[in-house]
Structure 1
């Protein structure tokens, strides 16, 4: 198993954000975490990437425990995080933003090759490589955030609400990008409030409700689950 969370709990002060969560991510494929606002989805990704400290439990990646590591060391192990709200550096250019994704890498020639690969994947970023990130549309900024994460050459990509605030046609494009990234061998953990999109893309799904694990199973089965359809798919 590529990644395992074992009975993980996270508290923010006296508030419990996530309780005894156990989940796993296999090599390859897409795993999604769905749930309503405040369910603990973002906290789950922040715990994996070291941005939220665990109150209890363990996180293992490629057979090694990582929950004791700093965020930069977790990135160095191969986990890249596309955060909610994109969090790009708006005063920096597109190319400068992309290069920050490779700040831990020492393989300069490969970094240049990967930068060219990002520009091939996202032609609009090539067109705007010298443009300040704050001047781009929401969809372009999301592509930039994804491209920046890919510059870390991840073994696992965490994506938090990549469709948030985007027009439907751009959401479809982002979905194709996620599928393409995964098809090229990068496993993805996808957090999405757009449950329909998430369950269409994913192989396996987890449902969080108020910090607890409510359901888990193959995404196709959860898509047909009566509770999921009523609570998250509007059926």
Structure 2
């Protein structure tokens, strides 16, 4: 579904990505793990058009998309939940969700999808008229994911969804991520919590200083000595 070929990204003269290549199939979860500053978020921002590569190509469903504007990429079916939630604080939960459907015109399906989001996150239904800024961190993360789902994505990019959340909330989000994949929407998951990421994913890439250091089936990487020492606390 998604193919990245030899991706290079620079911030001014600093190289953030140095020849990253990865593939995302049409089902399941692919995770990208690594230390802070390894290039994980930059990879997602490149896919969604928020930063421009200085070299390399990004293909989605056979079409090259690295030259497109972010809204064009959303229209093609890629939704990005950035690190830090970034809800609209002075809008209600439901208004935040409906903003995610801004590019859509299928009104009946939008209403169906609102109810599907509430099915994933019953707490949001209880708080549908509440201002987003009054929600807990975990609830705001639910809103951010729900808003992305309202775009009707074919591919969902999640950047550090568990950051700052309680273990109970992390467990709930993990359940929802798996449920989303079961509806047919594959996920690219960037996570600082490598244990969580490798439990959820079927395939994994380890980024180190802007390059892919290790890749393989998530089950294999859980047993990899370097990954265990560097990221799993073994």
Structure 2 stretches lacking a partner, 5+ long: none
User: What pairs with 1:25-64 in structure 2 (closer than 5 Å)?
Assistant: 25-64=24-63
Q: Which residue is equivalent to 1:104?
A: 103
Q: Which residue is equivalent to 1:124?
A: 123
Shift of residue 117 of structure 1?
1.2
Q: Which residue is equivalent to 2:140?
A: 141
Structure 1 stretches lacking a partner, 5+ long: none
Shift of residue 108 of structure 1?
1.0
SS at match of 1:191: strand
Q: Which residue is equivalent to 2:177?
A: 178
Give per-residue Cα distances to partners, 1:64-90, cap 9 Å, x unaligned.
000010000000000000110011111
SS at match of 1:72: helix
Residue 211 of structure 1 pairs with residue 210 of structure 2: yes
| Rounded Cα–Cα distance in structure 1 between residues aligned with 2:82 and 2:90 | 18
SS at match of 2:30: strand
Residue 70 of structure 1 pairs with residue 61 of structure 2: no
SS at match of 1:124: helix
Shift of residue 202 of structure 1?
0.3
Q: Which residue is equivalent to 1:18?
A: 17
SS at match of 1:75: helix
The TM-score normalised by the length of structure 1 is 0.99
The TM-score normalised by the length of structure 2 is 0.99
| Rounded Cα–Cα distance in structure 1 between residues aligned with 2:116 and 2:175 | 16
Shift of residue 156 of structure 1?
0.2
